[in-house]
Each structure stands twice: as structure tokens, then as C-alpha cells.
A and B are shown apart, each in its own frame.
Chain A
Amino acid sequence: MPAVRSGDTFRIPEAPLRLAAIAAGGALGTLARYGADRALVPAPLGFPWATFVVNVTGSFLLGLMVTLVVERWPPTRFVRPFAAIGFCGGFTTFSTMMVEAVQRAQHGRAGLAIGYLVASMAAGLLAAIAGMASARGRFRLPADRSIPDPDDLAELYSDPRRPPMDGGARP
């Protein structure tokens, strides 16, 4: 769909912009995870700290962002694709965790593999809960202050006739 001029406003079609936001967030999240991999190089078949730290912090961030977008902020269109689906999705990884665990188990370190999985799951779930609770103001005093909309794009291209796009979608 081409960009359309209607009156004085120049509107860019939304679907490609949302996909672009996912791609941009995913690219940055992946680069951030690579940075963590480089910074926290594990001993061979040791505890995979980089993946652990990335997955736990990403779980906190996703819980925080999705809850803010869905429950606290005015409707936005690009925060969720960029920050949640893109950045947090690209930042955290499941496949690396699985391969790391299997490799350790196959090299006689089954205890470490199980500990890694249990620790990742426990810390990841707690981090997601903590992120959601933070967004709901459970961890601070002024509970009912409205938070300003940080999404410039939604302001620029907002169209009051359309329903909010971020409302019911999945992260």
C-alpha cells in the first residue's frame, strides 16, 4: 500500500512500519546479546552466564514493557513491536539455552545442566513477575500518576478513527 496524502497530513501505512519496528528492535537485541556473549565468556562446559543474564534481564524487561503498554500507557503502536517483540525477543534466546544444557549433560555435567535449567526458569519467571509488578506500580509509592506516552511515532501518525493496535496482541 503506498503512502497516501489526505488533506495536510502525510500518512505512512502502518503494517510495514510495525514490521520495521520489529526488525530494528530484533537487530539491536541480537547485537546486545552478542555483546553479553563477548563480555561473559564461560569456561568450556561451565555455567553459561551470558545466556543466563541475558534471559533473566530480558524476561524482566518484557514483563515491564508489555504491562506498561497494555495496562498503563495510552495506546501506542510501535513500542510493543520495537521493544517487546523486537528487542526483548531478539535479546533473549531459547535455542542457545537448550543446546548449552544438552552439551553439558552429554559431557558428564548433568548436574550443572539441570542446575542451569532450573536456575534460568526460576530466575526468568521471577524476573517476569517483577517486571509486571514494577509496571503496575507495586514497587513504588505514587501509584496513580499517568505516565506520558514515550512513542513519538504514535503521536505523529495517530489516527483517532482507528482502534488501538497494541491493545490485545501478544508480546
Chain B
Amino acid sequence: MIVLGLLVAGAVGSLLRYAVDHVVQRRLRSDFPLGILLVNLSGSLALGVLVGSNLHRGISTGWLTVAGTGLIGAYTTFSTFTFDAVRLAENDQWAFSLLTVVGGIGAGLGAAAVGLALGAMA
């Protein structure tokens, strides 16, 4: 059952990531990978809420795995993040590359911390 849930959640999460990235990046007249940044920040916030509430209120581990590992895990991505940083550096867009890495990690940590706090309060 977990495997089936993970397959569905992984498919949905990946399609969501593609949809958000596609919509954001089409409107953005820039090479900065804002779409993936927004995906990763919203996902870090959401996983923080989920994990925070699990620690404090005891959501079942099966659901946590399908929603956290499956849906949110597949929604956010690390490989596109590193690929974009290298691609931007290759194109001599060093400021964008640095902003992708430092901004992504910094804001991602903030989003996860806020999420964990929100989850613990809820």
C-alpha cells in the first residue's frame, strides 16, 4: 500500500513541480531559475509543517511517508537546483548562479524553520 501511495504521490508531485516551474518561468523574462526556487521554498515550508505537526500531534507514519517522502519529496528537487547553478556559471552568469545556491539554501532553511514552528503550533 505504501508503494502504491508513493508511486501516485511521486507522479503528482513531479507534475506539480513541472506545472509551477513552467508557469513561473514562462512569465519571467530572465534566466534566473525562479520557478524551481519557488517550488523548493514552498515545498520546504510544507514539509516543515507536516514534520512539525507529526512530531507534536502524532500523524500516522504511513501518511507522513506518502505525503512527505512521496508528494513533497518529489515536488522539490535538488538535481535541477545544482544543474541550474552550474549552467548559469558556465554562461558567465555568476551572480545568478551564486544567488541560486546561497539564496536557495538560505531561504530554504528559513522556510523549513517557519514550517516546523507552524506545524508545532497547529
Determine if chain A interacts with chain B: yes
B 10-25 to A, binary, CB cutoff 8 A, 1 in contact else 0? 1111110110010001
CA of A22 to CA of B116, assembled, Å: 30
CB distance from B101 to the nearest CB of A (A): 6
CA of A90 to CA of B9, assembled, Å: 10
Q: Are A99 and B48 in contact (CB under 8 A)?
A: yes
CA of A59 to CA of B13, assembled, Å: 18
Name the one of B15, B69, B84, B108 contacting A98, with C-beta atoms under 8 angstroms: B108
Q: Are B81 and A27 in contact (CB under 8 A)?
A: no
Q: Are A125 and B82 in contact (CB under 8 A)?
A: yes
Q: Interface on chain B toward A: helix, strand, loop, or mixed SS?
A: helix
Q: Are A27 and B83 in contact (CB under 8 A)?
A: no
Name the one of A27, A37, A58 contacting B10, with C-beta atoms under 8 angstroms: A27
A 45-57 to B, binary, CB cutoff 8 A, 1 in contact else 0? 0000000000100
Q: Are B73 and A33 in contact (CB under 8 A)?
A: yes
B113: chain A residues within 8 A (beta carbon):
102, 106
A103: chain B residues within 8 A (beta carbon):
51, 116
* Residues 10-67 of A at the B interface (beta carbon under 8 Å): 19, 22-31, 33-34, 37, 55, 58-59, 61-63, 66
A61: chain B residues within 8 A (beta carbon):
79
* Residues 104-127 of A at the B interface (beta carbon under 8 Å): 106, 117, 120-121, 124-125, 127
Q: Is B118 positioned at the interface, with any CB of A under 8 Å from its CB?
A: no
* Residues 70-122 of B at the A interface (beta carbon under 8 Å): 70, 72-86, 101, 104-105, 108-109, 111-113, 115-116
Q: Are A59 and B10 in contact (CB under 8 A)?
A: no
Kindly report which residue of chain B lies nearest to residue A87, judged by CB atoms.
Answer: B14
Kindly report which residue of chain A lies nearest to residue B73, judged by CB atoms.
Answer: A93
Q: Is A128 positioned at the interface, with any CB of B under 8 Å from its CB?
A: yes
Q: Is B59 positioned at the interface, with any CB of A under 8 Å from its CB?
A: no
Kindly report which residue of chain B lies nearest to residue A57, judged by CB atoms.
Answer: B79
Contact (A90, B13) CB under 8 Å given A34-B69, A95-B40? yes
Q: Are A102 and B109 in contact (CB under 8 A)?
A: yes
Contact (A98, B74) CB under 8 Å given A22-B15, A31-B3, A89-B80? no
Kindly report which residue of chain A lies nearest to residue B31, judged by CB atoms.
Answer: A170
A98: chain B residues within 8 A (beta carbon):
40, 44, 47-48, 108-109, 111-112
Interface centre among A62, A89, A101, A171 (most CB of B within 10 A): A89
CB distance from B80 to the nearest CB of A (A): 5
Q: List 27 A-B contacts (CB under 8 A).
A: A24-B11, A26-B13, A27-B10, A27-B11, A29-B10, A30-B10, A58-B79, A59-B79, A59-B83, A62-B83, A88-B80, A90-B13, A92-B78, A93-B78, A94-B40, A94-B76, A95-B108, A96-B47, A96-B73, A97-B78, A98-B44, A98-B108, A99-B47, A101-B112, A117-B105, A121-B105, A128-B82
